[in-house]
């Protein structure tokens, strides 16, 4: 089951209580206070790992609580600090703190190994040995451990892929991803066959590879929640380029140029940054093309917008090699552009631990 949004509650561990104790030993009169401090409570961290690709586990386990620290003991023994609780999530997870209807972004875990402190464990209380003074040689005062932080979190997954396949339902996205990768999505001749996003790894010559995301079909009004588009459009926000599939056969009963303009308008209405991504237009199902003028009209329309244009048949394999090389060139250009761009400054107040920081601290 693919789940990309969940709400969970996390509670850090409370600190252990300080101990009230006096040293009592034969031949040692007035041994004095020896109550130890309580141990610290466990904190809660969220870590991104590559072995998960859905948030389904949290649907059945929404509550997480770290252990509390041990209480202090006599003989100045400090209670043991509790272990921290690690919550593992897929790469690409956004962590929000929920406060009623408002949400505040705590972390965007876009790399494997990124780790963020979500809830800090409570401090252990002091034992009576800490309160000795020149005027109070036998204190009977101790401190209880502090409570750990509690937070209501909203987790949202955005798939990480180099290429996002977009287009009307039944435009051939699932068939294409099944031909160019090892992904095996459901394929059928009716709209909305794909109900959840699919990921596939495409391998090319010279050890080149990239990841493709097949997003469920979009329709007019998707940005307002019509169809399935609004639910899954966010999964193409992280992609480097878009591959826009347009059915040029007459089986759909729609006009190919209108389909192209409709999807581009939905992307723009959803997010201008998504619509501005590099785009490759692909005319699909040319093996079933019975009206060549439909293909010519789409080609002329796309040429005016100065977008790359490729015609393919995922069934026969025609044009697939040309498409993959065109996609690869687009990915390389997008990566170079991203490398030249300056990184955004990190948000203040977020204790985000990256793999590079771990190596530096070591």
Dump pLDDT digits (tens) for 191-218. Answer: 444 456 777 888 888 888 888 888 775 6
**Is residue 290 very low, low, confident or very high in pLDDT (cuts 50, 70, 90)?**
confident
Torsion of CA 29, 31, 33, 36, to 10 degrees: -150
More confident residue, 282 or 342: 282
For 306-351, the pLDDT digits (tens) are 999 999 998 899 999 999 999 999 999 988 887 776 555 444 445 5
Q: Is the overall model pTM greater than 0.75, yes or no? A: no
Long-range CB contact pairs, 61-66, < 8 A, 24+? 62/6, 62/7, 62/8, 62/9, 63/8, 63/9, 63/11, 64/8, 64/9, 64/10, 64/11, 65/10, 65/11, 65/13, 66/11, 66/12, 66/13, 66/41, 66/42, 66/119, 66/121, 66/148
Whole-angstrom distance, CA of residue 163 vs CA of residue 150: 38
76 and 11 Cβ atoms separated by less than 8 Å: no
Average pLDDT of every residue of the chain = 84
Higher-confidence residue of 18 and 343: namely: 18
Mean pLDDT of the region 133-144: 93
Classified as helix, coil or strand, 136 is coil
Q: Which residue reads 């588009």 in tokens? A: 229
Query: Out of 62-76, 134-148, 261-275, which region has the weakest mean confidence (pLDDT)?
Result: 261-275
Place of tokens 């798939």: 159
Do the Cβ atoms of 362 and 242 come closer than 8 Å? no
Spatial distance between the Cα atoms of 222 and 225, rounded to a whole number of angstroms: 5
Task: Express each pLDDT in 156-189 by its tens digit.
Answer: 888 778 898 888 887 888 888 888 887 665 454 4
Q: What tens digit of pLDDT does each residue of 218-262 get?
A: 655 544 544 454 556 777 788 889 999 999 988 777 899 999 998
Q: Which domains does the chain have, with CATH numbers?
A: 5-157 (2.70.210.12), 163-340 (3.40.50.300)
Torsional sign, CA 314, 210, 105, 265: negative
Higher pLDDT, 183 or 147: 147
Nearest to 119 by CA among 195, 42, 61, 182: 42
At residue 63's C-alpha, the angle toward residues 55 and 111, to 5°, is 40
Looking at residue 192, what is its pLDDT? 44
Q: Which helix (H) or strand (E) holds 87?
A: strand 85-90
Report the pLDDT value the prediction gives residue 191, as an integer from 0 to 100: 44
| 33-91 pLDDT per residue, tens | 999 999 999 999 999 998 887 888 898 899 999 999 999 999 999 999 999 999 999 88
Tokens, residue 90: 């897929």
- Tell me the sheet residues that pair with 97: 104, 153
């Amino acid at each position: 089951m693919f789940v990309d949004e969940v709400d969970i509650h996390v509670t850090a561990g409370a600190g252990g209580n300080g101990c009230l104790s006096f040293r009592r030993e034969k031949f040692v009169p007035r041994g004095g206070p020896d109550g130890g401090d309580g141990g610290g409570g466990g904190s809660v961290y969220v870590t991104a790992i590559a072995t998960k690709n859905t948030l389904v586990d949290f649907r059945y386990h929404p509550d997480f609580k770290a252990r509390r620290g041990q209480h202090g003991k006599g003989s100045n023994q400090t209670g043991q600090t509790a272990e921290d609780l690690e919550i593992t999530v897929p790469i690409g997870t956004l962590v929000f703190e929920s406060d009623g209807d408002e949400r505040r972004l705590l972390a965007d875990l876009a790399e494997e190994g990124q780790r963020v402190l979500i809830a800090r464990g409570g401090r252990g209380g002091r034992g009576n040995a800490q309160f000795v003074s020149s005027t109070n040689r036998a204190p009977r005062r101790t401190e209880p451990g502090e409570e750990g932080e509690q937070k209501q979190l909203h987790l949202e997954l955005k798939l990480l892929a180099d290429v996002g396949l977009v287009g009307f339902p039944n435009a051939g996205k699932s068939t294409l991803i099944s031909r160019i990768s090892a992904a095996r999505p459901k394929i059928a001749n009716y709209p909305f066959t794909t109900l959840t996003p699919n990921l596939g790894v495409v391998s090319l010559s010279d050890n080149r590879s990239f990841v493709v995301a097949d997003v469920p079909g979009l329709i007019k009004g998707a940005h307002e929640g019509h169809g399935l588009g609004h639910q899954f459009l966010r999964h193409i926000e992280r992609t480097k380029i878009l591959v826009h599939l347009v059915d040029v056969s007459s089986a759909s009963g729609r006009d190919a140029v209108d389909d192209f303009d409709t999807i581009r308008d939905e992307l723009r209405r959803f997010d201008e940054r998504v619509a501005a991504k590099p785009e490759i237009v692909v005319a699909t199902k040319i093996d079933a093309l019975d009206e060549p003028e439909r293909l010519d009209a789409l080609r002329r329309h796309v040429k005016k917008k100065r977008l790359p244009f490729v015609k393919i048949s995922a069934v026969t394999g025609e044009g697939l090699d040309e498409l993959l090389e065109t996609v690869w060139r687009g990915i390389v250009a997008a990566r170079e552009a991203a490398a030249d761009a300056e990184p955004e400054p990190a948000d203040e107040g977020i204790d985000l631990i990256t793999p590079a920081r771990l190596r530096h601290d070591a």
